[in-house]
Chain A
Amino acid sequence: MKPLVTREYRTVSYVSGPLIFIERPMRISYGEVVSIILPDGEERTGQVLDISREVAVVQVYEGTSRVDDRDTRVRFTGDPPRIDVSIEMLGRIFDGLGRPRDGKPPVLPEEQPDIGGMPINPYARDKPADFVQTGVSAIDGLNTLVRGQKLPIFSGAGLPANRLAAQITRQSRVLDEEGNFAVVFAAMGITWQEASFFMQEFESTGALERVIFFLNLADDPTIERIATPRCALTAAEHLAYTHDLHVLVIMTDMTNYCEALREISTAREEVPGRRGYPGYMYTDLSSLYERAGRITGRRGSITQVPILTMPDDDITHPVPDLTGYITEGQIVLSRDLFRRGIDPPIDVLPSLSRLMSLGIGPGKTREDHRNVSDQVYASYAYGRDLRRLVAIVGEEALTDLDRAYLTFAEQFENQFVSQRGENRSIEQTLGIGWDLLAGLPVDELKRIGPEMIQRYHPALREETP
C-alpha cells in the first residue's frame, strides 16, 4: 500500500559513519527505502534500521560524505528495497544496488520483488540430489557438490580462489542435463582486476550471456555491499523459480560483506560480539546462505559458491566460522599446498561437503564412490600425520608400510588434487583414486568392501573397463 503523499523531512539531527538520524518521523515503516537528497541535488539511497517516535535511523548505502544537518532532505518511500528483475538481465552488468552499470538502459521489470526475500518453508524444500560434476577431483571425488547446496570456498589472501571459482563455473555440469543454467555473480569490494578476470573468463568460454553481474568494487561505497548479495539472490530466485533455470550464485568476497556489517553495527554503538562483529551476524549471514536450495514442484534451483578470505588464514575467525556453521560444508585452500605448486591448492582434510552422500553412489556417480572417498581420506590423513613424525625421527625410522603411506600422501597431492585447469570426469577422478590406493597393501583398504576391491582395484580386476 503506497502512501499518497511521499513524506520528506529536513530534520537530519545526527550523522555518524554510514548512519543518519532523522528527528520526529511519522509513520515510517521498519526497513523501508529512503532517498537522501543532498544540498547539491545528488540523490542517494538508504534504508531504515530503527524507528521510534523520536528518531529514525537510516543507513546510507553510498556513505554520508557531504550530508549536512540543515539542507539535506530525506524522502521516505514507504516501500522495502526492491529490485527490477527479468530474464533480460542475463548478460548485463549492474552495480551493487541493481542499477545498470554497463551504460545500457534499465531492464523492463517482469517483477519487483523485495530484496530481503522470504524464508523458504522447510517443508516446501526439496532435497538436493543431483550430482554436479565440477571437473575438479578434490571436489567431485571427496567433497561432492550437489545441486541446491551452498558450498563456500575458504581462501586466504593471495590464494587462487577466483581461479577455482571460475574453473567450477566453466566446467560444472549435471551429468544428464545441460543448457538451462545461469550464473549470478555478486562482487563485494573486490578489485577491478578481479572482476575483470571473471568477465574475461566467462567471455572466453562464451558463457557471458548466461551471467548476471552485480559489481560493488573496492572503490564503491562500502555499505552498498549489504544490498549486493541480496539483489543477486533475488535475481537468482527469479531465474530459478520463474524461469526454471539452474542458477549458480557466486558471491565474493564475503569477508568484505561482513566488514560492512561490522561498520554499521559499530556506528550504531551495538554491543559487539567476537572481534567486533555484531552478535546477529550468524542470523544475517543465514538470511543470505539459506536462500540456496530447491523447492518441491519447481524445476529451477539455486546453488551457492560463496568465496571468503580467512584473515591471517585463520579458520576460526568469525567470518569463516559462522559461514561454516550455516553452509553445507566448505572447500578450504591451503597456503602450504599453494607454495608447493599444487593447483588448485585444496586442503581436503578440513574441507567437507555435507550433502555428498545425497549426490553420489550407484545411479548418480558410481557404487564405489563413497568407499574410495573414505579410504583416500583416511589414508591421506594418516600419511600427513606421518610427515610430522618424519620431521622428528627421520624417514629411516618408519616401517615399510608407513613409507607407503608417505608416498601415497605425496602422490595424492601431486596427482589427485593438483590438476592445473584440467577438466576431469568423475570416472577419471575415481580412477586416479584407485591408482593411488593400489600403492598400498590390499589389507590396508579397510573402508572398501571385498567385492568393490575385486571389481575396481587395478591389480585385481579382471578386465580394464
Chain B
Amino acid sequence: MTVPPKVRLAGRRLLQAVPALLGIIIITFLLTRALPGDPAVYFAGPAADAASIAEIRHRLGLDRSLPEQFLTYVGDLATGNLGTSISTGQPVLQEIITRLPASLELTLAALLIAVGVAVPLGVLAATRPDGWVDHACRFVVTAGVSLPTFFTGLALVYVFYYLAGWAPAPMGRLDIISLPPEHVTGFYLIDALLAGDVAVARSVLAHLALPALTLALFTLAPIARMTRAAMLQALGSEFIRTARAAGLSRRRILIVYALRNALLPVVTTLGMVFSFALGANVLVEKVFAWPGIGSYAVEALVVSDYAAVQGFVLTMALLFVLLNLVIDLTYTLIDPRLGLEE
C-alpha cells in the first residue's frame, strides 16, 4: 500500500513526539513533587492537627513511594483521568476543556490581528528600505516589544473603557447578562455564530477586542521584523531579477515570487510567537479577568495543586507537539524541496 508522502511525514513527526511526551510526563511528575509546600497541609487548613494532615496525605496518595505514585499517575493518564484539582474540587480534565478554548480563542485572535498587520507592514518596509513605512515599521516593532503586556492592556482599558466607553468592562469573555453559547468548539465566537445568536457574538467580539489587541501588539514585533528581513533577502535574489527582466508586474513579483519565498522564516517565527503568546497570556488574562488556562495554572502553582499543574504542563506540551507538526506540514506546502528528505 502506498501512503502519500505528506501523510507519512505527519505520521513520522507524530511518532517522534512520543519520546518527548514520555519525557514531559516524567519531568512534570518529578518537578511538581520538588515544589516547595505540602498540599496536604494547605488542604487541611490552618487549624488541622497532625493526624488529620496525615489522613489527608493518605487520601491523596502522597504517603506512598514516588515510583508507586508515578505508576498510579500514568495509569490514570491512560484512562484520561488527569486527577482532581484539590483547590477547586473539579476534575482537571473538565477545567482544561472549558479553559483551554478561552486561551486559544484569545491567542488565535491576537495572532490573526498581528499577522494581518505585521506581514503587510514588513513587506512594504522591505520594498522601500529607509522609506517612511520602514520607519513606521521600526517604531511599531520597538514599541511592541518594549511595552509590557500588562501595561498596554491597562492603557487600552483606560482609554477605550474608562475614557471612551467603547469597550465593555474587562470582566471575562461575556456580559453578565448573556449566557455562554452552547458548547461546540469552546470558542465562544464560533459557537455563538453557529447558534445564530448575533447579539452574543457581538458581545463576545467586544470582550475579545481589547485583550486580543494587547496580545497582538506584543506578538506583532517579531513577525514584522522577520517578514521585513526575509523579504529583503528574497527581493535581493537572482530569480527576482529574472522575474523583473521578464517584465512581470510589481505586484506579482512581490507576492508570488518574493513573499512566497520569504514565508518560510515567517512561519517559523509565527510558531515561536504562538508558543510564547500562550505563556504571555497569563498577564493579559489577569488584566482582563479572562478565564483562560494561564491564570488557572498560576493559581494551581501557588497552592501546589499537583494534578492541575501536571495537567496544564501536559496540555501545553501536547499543544506544542501539534503546533510543530502543523508548522512542519506548512513548510512542505510552501517549499517543495522540503519533506522529501527522509
Q: Do A and B bind each other?
A: no
